[in-house]
A = this chain, B = another copy of it.
């Protein structure tokens, strides 16, 4: 029985490894780092305050500052003060940034290449299982942070 469990763990590891590697390749093919692509992904649904990005990306605010600075220097995002609270800077994606991000999504073959191995029915099964795995489980107190709205991942 420990054998079944360890096989599953190995499979999950390989799965995550393949996913990460594919995303990395996709980003780099477009000339972005994984972190940059991930940040762009966060912005596709609308603007975000710097601080919110730090929370969503699970990193230090000062890290977001430099990440955004590099993207801004390349014209992929803009940073403008929030009219309601002048401490806050709201980051939004530019048309060029949207193009780059779409290019990453296009280069990211994992969903089609890998999930495409499954039939529609199998995909539905997988979805059910993942929902259960991801459900806030017993043992963990509070878990939320739905991360990216369209399917990104970090480094």
What residues of chain A have their CB less than 8 Å away from a CB belonging to chain B? Answer: 1, 4-21, 58, 111, 113-118, 120, 122-127, 129-135, 137, 139-140, 146-155
Contact = CB atoms under 8 A, between A and B. Distances in A.
What's the dominant secondary structure at chain A's contact region?
Answer: helix
A151 to B, nearest CB: 5
Contact of A13 (B15, B17, B131, B147): B147
B4 A130 contact: no
Contacts of A12: 19, 111, 115, 130, 151
B135 A117 contact: yes
A109 B5 CA distance: 14
Q: How many copies does the complex hold?
A: 2
Contact of A137 (B21, B111, B117): B117
B14 A111 contact: no
Nearest to A15: B130
Contacts of A114: 133-134, 137
A113 B134 contact: no
B129 A17 contact: no
A124 B17 contact: no
A129 B129 contact: yes
Nearest to A7: B127
A2 to B, nearest CB: 12
Contacts of A147: 13-14, 17
